[in-house]
Structure formats: C-alpha cells, structure tokens
Amino acid sequence: MPVHNISQLEGTVTLGIDAAFKCYNKAGMQTESFRQSMTLGSGPFMFSHLRNIFTAIGCDTFAQVTNYELTYGAACLSLCTEYVNMSDGNPCSGSGCCQSSIPKGLKSLDISLFSFYNYTNVSDFNLCGFAFLVDKNSLKISDWPLSRKPKYGKDAYRTDIVIEWAVKNETCEQAKANASAYACGANANCTYPESGQGYRCLCNEGFEGNPYLQEGCQDVDECKDPERYPCHGRCKNTIGNYKCRCPLGMYGDGKKGCQGLGIITLIAAIGAAILLVIICVLLYMMCKKRKKDRNFRENGGMVLKHQRVRIFSEAELEKATKNYDDDQKLGEGGFGSVYRGVPADDVQVAVKKFKGVDKAQMNEEFQKEMGVVSQVNHKNVVKLLGLCLETKVPLLVYEFISNGTLSKHIHDKTSQLLASWSNRLRIASEIALALNYLHSLADPPIIHGDVKSVNILLDNNYTAKVADFGASVLISSDQTIIATKIQGTLGYLDPEYLMTGILTARSDVFSFGVVLVELLTGEKPNSSSSSGEKRNLIQHFISALETDNLFRILDFQAADEGEMDEIEAVAELAKGCLNSMGLNRPTMKEVSDELAKLKDLHQKSWAQQNSDETEYLLGESSQSFGKIARRPMTQSQTVIPLEIENFSDSI
C-alpha cells in the first residue's frame, strides 16, 4: 500500500488502501466482492479516530467495520429507491451513502458488506455497494456515483487513511522518569496524542528533524524560509528562534510588520530635503546677489567703480568687522556707528555704518557725507579709503586712527599727551589747519557743522585729524548755504545758529573756540563746579580771562613766562572765536594763521632760548589779533532760516 505522507509534528502516516465492495446482477446473484482486512500489530500505531470516518455507498447497502478481536465495531445503513446524485455538498445521511465514526484505539479493521434485496429493487442504476475507511480531509463523495463498477490492480479504487502513533501507554512524567527508555531526543518535548493513549515526541519550536533520535532535533535557520518565518526587516537566526529588526527609520515587530519610513524611503526623503535646501540656498544666493547688484547700481557703483576710490564687497567688510560685533565698535553717532575692521590686506580701517529705518534719509546722509569727504585731501582730515555699495545704505570706509579721540586724552587724567603746552598748541594748530582747508581751500568749500573734541582723532604720531562729516555741507563760493534742520552738539553749537537757524562758516569757528577752551581747561562744555552745580564753561572761561584768573582754571602748568604769554594769546583768540555775533568772529584762516605763528614762535623759543624775541613776537601777535577780533567781518554771507531738529548733548 502506498504511503502518501508522514507528519512528525502531528504524529501521523497517511496510506492508501482499497475499498471493500460487493456486486450483484439484475437477477440478484452475487457476481464479485472484496473484503478489506488490515492490522497494525501490537506496536505504537493505530487508526486515527479523529481524522478517519467509516463510509458506505449504495441503495441497498449495510456495511460494518470491526477489529479482529471483535471488541470494537461500527456500522451504517444506506437505502434509496431512486438514483441519488452524489454531491460533495450533500451530507451522507443514509440515502445513497452513510457514515459512522470509528472507536478510539482501533489497531485492526475488517470491513464487510451486506444487502437486503441483493440490489434487485435498484438494479436499473445500482448493482454494487462500496465500504471504506477514509481521511475526512480527502473524501469527495462526487467521486463515488451509484453506477460505479469495481476495478482491480493499479486501477482499483483506493482511499487515504490516517494512522497515528504513540510511544507506550504511559504518561510523559512516567516516561521522563526512566531516562534510558525515554523516547524523545535532544531539543524535543513530550506531548500527548489526540487518541489519549501513550505519548508522542515533538521537536521544540525553532527545531526540526527526528525527535525520536538520540541527537534529537536540529536548529531551523528561519531566515532561509521567509515564507514560513516572515521577516519585514533584517533577519538574524538564533538557537531555536530568530530575530527580525525593522529597517532603519522604521519601528515595530519586524515579524509582523514595520511602521514608519524604510531606509530607501528615508534616503529618498533626505535626498529630496537636501535638494530642496540646495535649491532654496541657490535661490537665496541669487536673490541676494541681485539685491546687491541693484543696490550697487542705485548707489552709483557703475560710475564710482571707475574712480580712484576702492570698492569693498559686503562680505569683505562683514568678515573684517566680525559681522559688526559690538567688541569692534569704535563709536556711535546720530547717523550711524563706526566699527574697527581688518580686511584681507591687514590694513586696519574704520567702517561707518549708517543706521535708521528711513532708507531715503539714510541715503541722503550718505550722499551728503560722500559728497564732502570725496572733495577732501588733507593730512589733518581723516581719509576716505573706500565704499561698499552692495548694502541698502552704502558704507563708508575710512583710515583707522589708532590713538582715539582728543576728548579721551583731554578728560582722561591718566593720559600724558597733554601734560605739555607744546602738544596742546600743536594739536590746536593742526585742527585749525584742517578747518581752514575745508573753508577756504576745498572745492567747493565745506562747513563741518559738528566740530568737537570727540570728532578730533589722533593717529600713531598723535597728529590731529578732523573726522565725522555727517553734519557737514558743501557751500558756494560766497559762503552761503541752504539747509533745512539744525545739527550739532549742545555745548559746541553756535548760539547764533541755534537761535536764528542761520549756518555760516563762522559757526565752525565758534565750535573750534569751544575746543580751544576745552584744551586749555580740561573741562567739558557742560561741566559742574566743585560744589556740584551745573555751569557754562564758556561763561566761566571768559569771566576768568577778564578777571585775570586764567591760570587758575588751566588744566596744566606753563613751563616759563614765554609759554604763559602764548597761553594768554590763545585764550584771547578763543575769546574772539566765542563772540556771540558771527560777524565779529575771525575767519578760520585768520585763526589758523595766528596759531601757526604761535606754534612757530614756541618752537623758536625752545631752539634759541631768546626770551626777548619771544616777548616781542608775542606782543606783535596779540596786537594783530586784537585788530582781527574787534573789527566786523566784510565777507558776504547769505543766511537762510532752518528747521530746528533735536540733537544730543556733548559727550
């Protein structure tokens, strides 16, 4: 008999056996028959009472199955008077076919058939009856029509039956107690068959092989059988099991399914994101470049790039000033801040960055200051090195002046620069030279508009340089000016300009006079007395001068009588500059010439030690200035009313 299947997991063997039959002719005479008998012996095998069912086919059929010992038995009866269409959907309820279960533990069988009328009453369509044991899962009733005739040999009609096995008739605990007789090998466990008799050996989960051998079951590499052992990620075999890790970017149980983005999806998403960022960066850079180019054109770059002035890029100045870090800030004024910078050529510069929300106003201030400084070329005026035209409001790049402001040295008592009169006189003369250049030699002439000690810088050699032309204006050759607002610093402002709104070159003269007083006294324009009360430095100075108390308010001591005479001459000059009426003040050229004479005299006095000549020259200087200070100015002026704007106190 053929073996169709062996299942160690279920402990079964599937065999094919011939069906029993008995046939008659129309006269009721038996023509042929086959009685199926089979025994499984005394071993561990038995017919499965759960998987097998006893079945009979025919319309005059009584079939029975017993064991050899006749201790077990089952039977069924099938009758019908007309042809029955054998359909898989119709149950075998006794009409054309019948079924009966078999007893548990059946080890042998004997199948026999009987007939009540020898099929004479149904001979037209049914002359044979069949009986067989069959696996419920393989039975198809439609294969057994009532008109079927028996066949023999290899063509005989066979059915599959299921035989199960069990080891001895004892429990697992009893079997394990006797290790030498225990049938289960390594990596196998003891279980009970459905028949309830004896025990059976099964491989543990994750193992396969023959559990009844001593070496037992072997580990299963689940990763090699993904259909049986699914893994939706990275599979790793383990002893008796396997691990399945979800792909990168996903989570969950890899054996059941992962959630999230897989590595390919993740890489694609990251790639798309990177591409998007690159596109955005490129678009940003393009827009930024277009904006810079537009600013460059709008700020006159197409013309200025052909001039001698250097054109800086925005990136170059940002790097030079460390992105305009506060630690790089040199100072701050009404229209912007000044930052120290070191471009690629390692030459220190001062970058003026205009501030404000009104682009039109800031551009106006830039154009005004640019128009002024582009006309200037003097050793005592801070030099413009270049421009940056790529920003919304252009930037001005000046030479860097290393020793700070004159104000710092005047009011910092630790500074030794102004301990001597010679340095004070020299610095005053250099400032006057610069202002005279602006008023008389620049083309067109320039009014600085905000002369004060904070706007006087000192270079490496402590040479004075006038800076900050934010309030400066160009004037016509006849010394007239049209303006719309008052700019400057309280304490230094020309009172006539402040009251009338009329700005002339003599306004710078007044402011310079305040700087001279500041140089002489070491006090700020708006200072406090020893008692803490606010006092006007100019009034205090003039009062001291007129009451012969000048040397009591000085911030230094004269070295000799010659210096005392020079100091008195400078004080008288300052007094003339501070005249409340602009027409009664000297011009900047006259002031510059006077200070130049005093400086030359001072230098000669030290070189020749000729006190008589010094006294004589001082007398001449005082007399010449007296004439200048007392006569009205003949120079023509055109004055225009101005709109007064708020301004800050002096520093």
413 is annotated as contributing to ligand binding? no
Q: Which H, E and C letters describe 529-589, residue by residue?
A: CCCCCEEEHHHHHHHHHHCCCHHHCCCCCCCCHHHHHHHHHHHHHHHHHCCCCHHHCCCHH
Q: Which residues participate in catalysis according to the annotation?
A: 450
Task: Please choose, from the candidates 218, 216, 212, 209, the residue with its C-alpha nearest in 3D space to the C-alpha of residue 200.
Answer: 212
Report residue 15 as tokens: 């065999």
CA dihedral in degrees (574, 576, 580, 585; nearest 10)? -120
Report residue 216 as tokens: 């037992």
- Helix (H), strand (E) at residue 398: strand 395-399
The whole-angstrom separation of Cα 434 and Cα 457 is 12
Contact 535, 548 (CB under 8 A): no
Peptide bond between residue 444 and the one before it cis (omega within 30 degrees of 0): yes
The whole-angstrom separation of Cα 175 and Cα 190 is 9
CB atoms within 10 A of CB 637: 16
Contact 418, 556 (CB under 8 A): yes
Q: What angle do CA 381, 384, 390 make, to 5 degrees?
A: 155
- Non-local (6+) Cβ contacts of 8 within 8 A are 202, 203, 210, 211
**Burial environment of residue 275 by CB neighbours within 10 A (0 to 12, 13 to 18, 19 or more):** exposed
Q: What is the CA radius of gyration of the chain?
A: 61
The whole-angstrom separation of Cα 623 and Cα 225 is 119
> Which residues sit in the known binding site?
353
> Which residues sit in the known binding site for ATP?
353
